Amino acid sequence: MANDTARRPWWQTGVVYQIYPRSFADGDGDGVGDLEGIRRRLDHVARLGVDAIWLSPIFPSPMADFGYDVADYCDVAPLFGTLAAFDRLVAEAHASGLRVLLDFVPNHTSDQHPWFRAARRARTDPKRDWYVWRDPRPDGGPPNNWVAAFGSGVPAWTLDEQTGQYYLHSFLPGQPDLDWRNPAVVAAMHDVLRFWLDRGVDGFRIDVVHALGKDPLLPDDPPPVAGLPHACLNEHPSTHDLLRALRRLADGYAGGRVLLGEVFLLFSDTHPTYARPDELHLVFELPAAVTVPWEAPAWRQRIASVTERFAAVGAWPTWVLSNHDMPRHRSRFGSEARARAAAVLALTLRGTPVLYAGEELGLEDAVVPRERTVDPGGRDGCRAPIPWTPAPDHGWPGVEPWLPWPPDPGDRSVATLEADPRSILHLYRRLLALRRRRAALHRGGLTLRPSPDRVVAYDRDDGASRITVLVNFADEPTDCEASGRILVASDGADEGRAYTGRLGPAQAIVIERE
Ligand code: NOJ
């Protein structure tokens, strides 16, 4: 069995941990997190027991979308550090057994990127067709009805007065879309990936990857969905060819480099097709996070559908509960007990879990007063800084952090939770350690078990390793049949003892069957 496990790529058996660099840890006291801050806190991540960190964008950027507007793909924003600081971080992460994934933002650049600055200079500029330009409609309006992702109903087109044409931006006007039909764009972006892979980076999370291939005719979005952000609707077969080329590039490097795609489509469940064996290694399972409430039937259905849909195309699933774009699941689900039970789900389902820094502390979203709002997409709450110590500065010496603290930063600080063996932080550590020890959890199959309506129950088996997971979605005790020894309980109760047949309120347990 050990050999079998060794044959599985790390990105199937491992766990990824997302770091939002602005909010993780501040090394220079300017109130914004940075690479040096991350380096100093690597021990926290390594002790947690994850396998890789994914850093949201660290590249030079005007920060209109906090780094998802890249002005130079091959450097580090001075706010975050230097290439040397990055190399040091990678070396120390590797020495601690952590891989490092960067955030690749291929759909659009910043309008401050030299490519776009050149492109907008003249219609004849050699960089012009690196972006998507179109003449105005006869009435002077935008070329089609596509809507941008931020701001309600704002066109995805901005008129460049000087050259008299519109350029496409699926997000902010400061984020012009690249034209991936242009081979020069493809070649330049492949060079970007090589730049970082040559530096020892272990892979990339890829931003809005489903938007790369666009219908060359740029047809209007049809009436039922017109007015919704085009970025959440765009699907074109050409994307899959682009992804095959990226996969060949990544697999040309030794050491299991990985491509993890963000596919966020509002009305289609096709995201697994982007992780077919010759495309991306992984795609996020975002619908579970975005659309599934804290209700057992909804989760049962989603688990069944994920299992089936990913298997149908030969893709390996992922699980994610929170990230920098949506309210944290502790806030969505409404209590710490539920957040703990959700952690048991995320870390015991079949697939690669992607955690969001701070969920191991049970953080809620910050309440951000209007005068401190900074994000055009209204996502400040889930991006609040991580509290490291109880007081007075929570481990952020210097000026006040760029966003307000999440609720109870003292009680929720890493140091406080570290000192309490019953804390959610220790639950995450126990779950991650168990997941590593038991083949059934990191590679076994998954079978849903019959259970009371308000419980989700499944078996994870792999040879001699036989695990059952029970999650009680009710905030009151629920009887649920199963037998075995409790390995981990979301509230820490009765670990090591035989399961009695009754789950506590919002309790989740991992049992080893006899
Ligand atoms: C998805 C990213 O996660 C989000 O933060 C960003 O605003 C958009 N893509 C645009 O890059």
207 lines ligand 1 (CB under 6 A): yes
- Mean pLDDT for 232-253 is 98
Residue nearest to atom 6 of ligand 1 (CA): 68
Taking the centre of ligand 1 as the mean of its atom positions, its distance from the CA of residue 284, in whole angstroms, is: 14
Active site residue 207: yes
**pLDDT tens per residue, range 128-146:** 999 999 999 999 999 999 9
- Does residue 65's CB lie within 6 angstroms of at least one atom of ligand 1? yes
Question: For the CA atoms of the chain, what is the radius of gyration?
Answer: 23
Coil, helix or strand at residue 406: coil
Contact 397, 409 (CB under 8 A): no
Digit-coded pLDDT (tens) for 140-188: 999 999 999 998 899 999 999 999 999 999 999 999 999 999 999 999 9
Instruction: Report the nearest atom of ligand 1 relative to the CA of 69.
Output: 11
Could you tell me the fold of the domain covering 10-109+204-214+240-433? TIM Barrel (3.20.20)
Q: What is the DSSP string of 298-362?
A: HHHHHHHHHHHHHHHTTPPPEEES--TTS--HHHHH-SHHHHHHHHHHHHHSSSEEEEETTGGGT
Has residue 53 got a pLDDT over 70? yes
Under the banding of pLDDT at 50, 70 and 90, the label for residue 6 is low
Closest residue to atom 4 of ligand 1, CA basis: 325
Supply the residue whose CA is at minimum distance from atom 2 of ligand 1.
207
Residue type, 409: P
pLDDT beyond 80 at 286: yes
Q: Is 286 in the pocket of ligand 1 (CB under 6 A)?
A: no
Q: Which atom of ligand 1 is nearest to the CA of 105?
A: 11
Q: What number is the average pLDDT over the span 207-213?
A: 98
Q: How far is the CA of 283 from the centre of ligand 1 (A)?
A: 15
Sequence-ordered strand ranges (E) for 330-408: 352-356
Residue 173 has what pLDDT? Answer: 98
Taking the C-alpha atoms of residue 130 and residue 186, their distance in angstroms, rounded to an integer, is 10
Q: At what angle do helices 336-348 and 424-437 cross, to 10 degrees?
A: 10
Strand 352-356: give its sheet, edge to edge: 282-283, 258-261, 203-206, 99-104, 52-55, 16-19, 352-356, 318-320
> What tokens appear for 62 in the block?
């005007």
- The CATH number that domain 445-512 falls under is 2.60.40.1180
Point out the catalytic residue in the list 177, 179, 262, 365. 262
Give distance in angstroms: CA of 172 to centre of ligand 1.
10
Per-residue pLDDT, 264: 97
77-98 per-position pLDDT tens digit: 999 999 999 999 999 999 999 9
Q: Active-site residue 262, yes or no?
A: yes
Residues of each domain in the chain carrying CATH 2.60.40.1180: 445-512
Can you tell me the distance from the alpha carbon of 193 to that of 204, in angstroms, rounded to the nearest whole number? 9
**Nearest CA, atom 5, ligand 1:** 325
Q: Whose CA is nearest to atom 11 of ligand 1?
A: 68
Distance between Cα 164 and ligand 1 center (Å): 28
Establish whether residue 177 lines the binding site of ligand 1, counting it when its CB lies within 6 angstroms of any ligand atom. no
Report pTM. 0.98
Tokens representing 509 are 């347990």
Per-residue burial over 426-438, b if 16 or more Cβ lie within 10 Å, else e, is: bbbbbbbebbbeb
